[in-house]
Every structure is written in structure tokens, then in C-alpha cells.
């Protein structure tokens, strides 16, 4: 048990240091973690971490990390969520208008499967409102130009 805990901590440390910290903001990190989940099997995988620690402990750690980041994002004031989302959209190569459409299509992917229903609803509501607000503040995103 002690060895499993040590491995779990090391996985989280490596994940944070090498993969999450270089990303700018919570939405970028949330999108990254969600991208590690296979949509058909709902299993999380990370090739490099799995090579070092094994797929099962890595998958379990990724689930936990995704849930933790999701909850922390929801604890942020909406103004901070808006700024974080704006920064995330600014990093997307397709620009803000396509980024907004991208985010709308990814809402369900970004929600951890095991999150409580009320947090899922809060996230959907917040993200839809923030994306609409950003669309209104960016006329090019709204008109599709």
C-alpha cells in the first residue's frame, strides 16, 4: 500500500511538472487531461507515464487529476474563469471564433465521468454563458467572419 501511494504521488508529480505546468491556465490543462481519455472506453492513458509506471496506476491518477482540476476550475470566480477561457481561446491556432465552436463541441468531453451531477450542470451552465459572453465581445466570432 505504501509503495502504491509513493507511485501515485510520483505520477502526479511527473504529470504536473512535465505536462500540466507548461500549459497556460486551467482550461488548457482541463482540455489536455480530457484528451487523454479514450471516448469509447472512457479509459485514461498516457504513453510516456505508462511506460514508467504502468497503465493502471497512471489511468487511476489521471482520473483523479481530471476530477481535481475540474472542481478547482469551478471554485474559481466567474471573472477568473472568463479570463482563463479567453487566454485558452487565444492559444488555439484556429482563432477565437473557431475556438468558441471547438469549446462548445467539447463541453461533455471536458467533464469527468464521475463528477457529481450538480457540478456537471454548473460547468455546462458556466461554460455556455462564458462562451456566449466572449462571442458577444468578439463580433467576428459571432458573425462567423
Hey, how many other C-beta atoms are within 10 angstroms of the C-beta on 90? 12
This prediction's pTM? 0.90
Q: How far apart are CA 114 and CA 17, in angstroms?
A: 25
Instruction: Give kind and range of the element (H or E) at residue 65.
Output: helix 55-75
Confidence of residue 145 (pLDDT cuts 50, 70, 90): very low
Task: Convert the pLDDT of each residue in 53-73 to its tens digit.
Answer: 999 999 999 999 999 999 999
State the burial class of residue 78 (Cβ atoms within 10 Å of its Cβ: 0-12, 13-18, 19+). Answer: exposed
113 Cβ neighbours under 8 A, 6+ residues apart: 42
Percent of the chain residues topping a pLDDT of 70: 95
Specify the pLDDT at position 144.
46
Task: Convert the pLDDT of each residue in 87-142 to its tens digit.
Answer: 999 898 888 888 999 899 999 999 999 999 999 999 999 999 999 999 988 766 54
In sequence order, what are the beta bridge partners of 44? 37
Specify the pLDDT at position 81.
97
Q: How far apart are CA 86 and CA 27, in angstroms?
A: 9
Determine contact, residues 37/51, Cβ cutoff 8 Å.
no
Amino acid at each position: 500500500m505504501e509503495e502504491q501511494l509513493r507511485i501515485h504521488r510520483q505520477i502526479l508529480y511527473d504529470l504536473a511538472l512535465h505536462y500540466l505546468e507548461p500549459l497556460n491556465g486551467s482550461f488548457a490543462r482541463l482540455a489536455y487531461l480530457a484528451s487523454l481519455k479514450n471516448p469509447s472506453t472512457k479509459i485514461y492513458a498516457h504513453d510516456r507515464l505508462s511506460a514508467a509506471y504502468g497503465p493502471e496506476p497512471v489511468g487511476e491518477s489521471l482520473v483523479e487529476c481530471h476530477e481535481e482540476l475540474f472542481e478547482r476550475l469551478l471554485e474559481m470566480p466567474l471573472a477568473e474563469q472568463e479570463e482563463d477561457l479567453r487566454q485558452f481561446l487565444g492559444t488555439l491556432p484556429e482563432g477565437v471564433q473557431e475556438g468558441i465552436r471547438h469549446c462548445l463541441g467539447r463541453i461533455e468531453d471536458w467533464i469527468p465521468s464521475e463528477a457529481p451531477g450538480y457540478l456537471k450542470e454548473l460547468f455546462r451552465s458556466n461554460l455556455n454563458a462564458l462562451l456566449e459572453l466572449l462571442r458577444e465581445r468578439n463580433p467576428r466570432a459571432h458573425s462567423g467572419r
